[in-house]
Amino acid sequence: MSFRNKLSQMWFNIQYRLFPFLEQQIGDLSEEYKTLISVLELVRIENFIPYDPFSNGRPPKDRTRIARAFIAKIVLKLTYTKQIISLLESDSQLRIICGWENESKIPHKSKFSRAFKEFVSSNLPERVHQALISEVYKDQIIGHIVNDSTSLIGREKPLKKKGTRKERKNEANKRHYREKTGKALNRRKKQISQTTEEMIAELPSKCDMGMKINAQGIATVWKGYKLHVGIDDACIPISAILTSASVNDCEVAIPLMAKSNKIAVNLYDLMDSAYDVPEIKEYSISLGHVPIIDFHARSKKQKAEKNEEKNKRRLLNLPIVEDERYKERFPKERFNSLFKEYYGGKCIQYKGHAKVFCHAMFGVLAYTAKTLICLIN
């Protein structure tokens, strides 16, 4: 039986067996709680929390329940940990859904913090997400994966840049030429011969200042991080990497493709003009993919030639297969919007790369599970 059939069978059991059983025990369930139960049943995060009954010392308690509570925090759109604790203490339905029998068993906020540190060190939400994606796409082929990034605003002090203000300004003016020379080019060449873990370990991860120009040509500046995600045809995130806000997108393309390729098989790699460099195309082809990357005009002459070619195609009404495929990039923008509004990407209260990434992956995991459920419906 394929995973999709298993998923349909699981949804049937949840909808027609689990929901009626729970409603008999704890009363009518709201739509939010039904969604939360469905997400928890699909991801089964408790299966990924290690427990050794024969180990020495005091065994950690409530880790499974706390992990379910952190998913509930994302699904219920809560910003602070104290909000989910307060809701658990006052709402008996949510308490039972997460696994606690009565109010007196709810741990203190300090235990939630210690548990979250353990989830960070074990990379829990990312491991659960990768296992879920691997199971969904087992023996399946994805049409295309869209690679892009989105800004995450942090609440910590940014890394101080070296040099005077004038030197930093000159460096910023040369930002769009970095793919030709400098650290970015050397890093991409080195990445081709590295493992995925080595590539990710060498990417900058400190909180700093970033700038991005949107489709309207308006520059946006933020303090924090940048989340690089590969999204498939069905708007499901396949892999994710968190870097400093100032990292150029083209520096993360190769590790992101390598990470996605470990989990699922795809045919096309769709990227915007920020990724238009030879090393990325070569690596995509080496994986057996077809890279479809928008041309990056780096001079006035190239811009004029690009516009002239676009006008000629429009005049002749000459569609190209690659152009039609490139138009399928909209799932990435949809993911960016939904992740920030509903899955914890807008208000990040943690500090440090590891904690921010763990929080982001809890959001990505909840988003993935809910999207899969919506596809079944």
**Total domains present in the chain:** 2
2 has a pLDDT exceeding 50: yes
Q: Are residues 199 and 246 in the same domain?
A: yes
Q: For position 294, what pLDDT does the model report?
A: 82
Q: For position 193, what pLDDT does the model report?
A: 80
The first and second tokens of residue 242, run together, are 């968190």
Beta bridge partners of 329: none
357 has a pLDDT exceeding 60: yes
Q: Are residues 96 and 15 in the same domain?
A: yes
**Cα–Cα distances in Å, from 359 out to 30, 78, 125, 154, 242?**
25, 12, 8, 12, 11
Nearest CA-CA partner of 68 in 32, 29, 41: 41
Q: For position 176, what pLDDT does the model report?
A: 44
Which pLDDT tens digit goes with each residue over 315-351? Answer: 666 666 666 666 777 778 889 999 999 999 988 999 9
285 has a pLDDT exceeding 60: yes
Q: Are residues 260 and 303 in the same domain?
A: yes
164 has a pLDDT exceeding 60: no
Q: How many CB atoms lie within 10 A of CB 213?
A: 11
Average pLDDT value for residue range 235-250: 93
The DSSP symbol for 17 reads I
d(CA 193, CA 283): 10
User: 106-110, 122-126, 156-160, 175-179 — which is least confidently predicted?
Assistant: 175-179
Q: Are residues 247 and 283 in the same domain?
A: yes
Residue 285 lies in a domain: yes
Tell me the residue range of the domain where 260 lies.
141-351
Rounded to the nearest integer, the mean pLDDT of the chain is: 84
Which pLDDT tens digit goes with each residue over 116-129? Answer: 999 999 999 999 99
End-to-end CA gap in the chain? 19
Residue 358 lies in a domain: no
Q: Which residue has the higher pLDDT, 73 or 216?
A: 73
Q: For position 331, what pLDDT does the model report?
A: 75
Q: For position 136, what pLDDT does the model report?
A: 87
Average pLDDT value for residue range 129-150: 90
Q: For position 179, what pLDDT does the model report?
A: 43
Burial 307-336 (b: 16+ CB within 10 A, else e): eeeeeeeeeeeeeeeeeebbeebebbeebb
Plot region of 18 (φ>0 → left; ψ -120 to 50 → alpha; else → beta): alpha
Could you tell me where the DSSP H helices lie in 16-145?
Answer: 19-26, 31-43, 63-75, 81-90, 92-98, 109-122, 124-136
